[in-house]
Amino acid sequence: MEHSNQFLGTERIGKLMKQYAIPCIISLLVGALYNIVDQIFIANASYLGSYGNAANTVVFPLTVVSSLILTAIYLIFDDQIIAMFGGTVNAETFHHSKEYFFYITLGIPFYMFGQAMNPIIRADGNPKFAMVSTLAGAIINIILDPIFIFIFKWGMMGAAVATVLGQFVTAVLAVWYIKHMKNIKPARGDYHLAGAICKKTLVLGLTSFLSQISLVAAMAAINNMLRKYGALDAVFGQEQYAQIPMAVVGIVMKFFQIVISIVVGMAAGCIPIVGFNMGAGQKTRVKELFTKLLIAEATVGAIALILVEFFPQQLINIFGAANESAYYTEFAIKAFRTYLCMMIFACVNKACFIFLQAMGKAGASTALSMIREVVFGVGFALLLPLFFRLDGVLYSMLVSDILTFAIAVFLIYGTYKELNTK
């Protein structure tokens, strides 16, 4: 195994990036499609529309954090959790949120297992199978969504069941692969916990865990501020329009999720390359990789920025804007252009989080991530609406990304300085 990885220290950096990043990007994009496809079909079902979109926005952050224990907690305290994420904006949204949440919760074990096995399959040297297993589940979801929603008229339950069945397929394929692994052949003794390995794993894994938890906290704050200050708005304070701000921001975040899936895929694909070359003392190659990654991430952010600033109408049309009021369209255009106007900074920030983690700088990575999502993400989501009301929620994203970028620049400079030393 050690000999087979030597090419990581000799092959061209650009070629390695393509080889490792593309399958990772596709896997993450396909994973993102689960919820996005649900929202597209929900939005275009006239009997669900923005109520269904708002319900999807309420439930979406809760599929980031998953375990068997959380499955039980979700089922027992469903009403309280839905309320915590702004699901009580009106009775119709609460009804759809509760229905979608129940069935999505039943699929958490399959989702968790499939997501956990994906990097293990990649580590075994088969990123293509990792991609295919995720893609197979997404295709099942895409096929079943319109059948369950439009033909069977199962509504939110249909969208959730289609998602869970797709996740089940991915989990089954992962089980099959584990029994046919090529390079990693675990023996019985390998299943015993080793303290030193567990410590290293927990330190590095804690970075990603805290990042996801803090993202959930930020989304909870945003949803509740949308509900609170939407109720004070002349238009969205009316019962029939109350769900619109939450539905719209949910759509904006789905587009953002697509972009971030590409960004994270590129950065995560670089992790084994960074790890090998840092271990081999080839800091020049790590520096070259970091430079190429930052340029690539900024380019993705620039393309995304052009789309949200010049084509917001086309983006919201994908999510059923034709079925909604003029207030919906107006707020959606404003949300896309305001909420995501710092996409370039956001993409570079995310790349910085992951690259620092790959270099073993778990503390710096975790601190930067927590500052972005908790201190800035939650803080400004709660603070700015006091001065700008509903618009303040939209401003929170851009202000957070600008300030995080200022810190990231400092860390990037320090990283280059370190990589320049022999």
Over residues 93-145, the pLDDT tens digits come to: 888 889 999 998 888 889 888 888 887 887 777 878 888 888 899 899 999 99
Which residue stretches of 235-378 are H helix?
Answer: 244-269, 271-279, 283-310, 312-318, 326-339, 343-358, 362-370
Please choose, from the candidates 372, 336, 338, the residue with its C-alpha nearest in 3D space to the C-alpha of residue 354. Answer: 372
* Cβ neighbours of residue 234 closer than 8 Å, sequence gap 6 or more: none
Please choose, from the candidates 161, 159, 335, the residue with its C-alpha nearest in 3D space to the C-alpha of residue 247. Answer: 335
Residue 78 tokens, joined: 């469903």
**List of the chain residues with pLDDT < 70:** 1-5, 35, 47, 49, 59-68, 186-191, 203-205, 207-208, 321-322, 422
| Exposed / middle / buried, residue 180 (Cβ in 10 Å: 0-12, 13-18, 19+) | exposed
**Helix H or strand E encompassing 66:** none
pLDDT tens for 305-355 read 999 999 999 998 887 766 778 899 999 999 999 999 999 999 999 999 889
Contact 138, 31 (CB under 8 A): yes
For 31-42, b where at least 16 C-beta lie within 10 A, e where not — what string?
bbbbbbbbbbbb
Which residue stretches of 359-389 are H helix?
Answer: 362-370, 379-383, 385-388
pLDDT at 51: 73
* Angstrom distance (rounded) from CA 220 to CA 206: 21
| Exposed / middle / buried, residue 76 (Cβ in 10 Å: 0-12, 13-18, 19+) | exposed
| C-alpha torsion angle, residues 186, 189, 195, 201 (rounded to 10) | 10
pLDDT at 2: 42
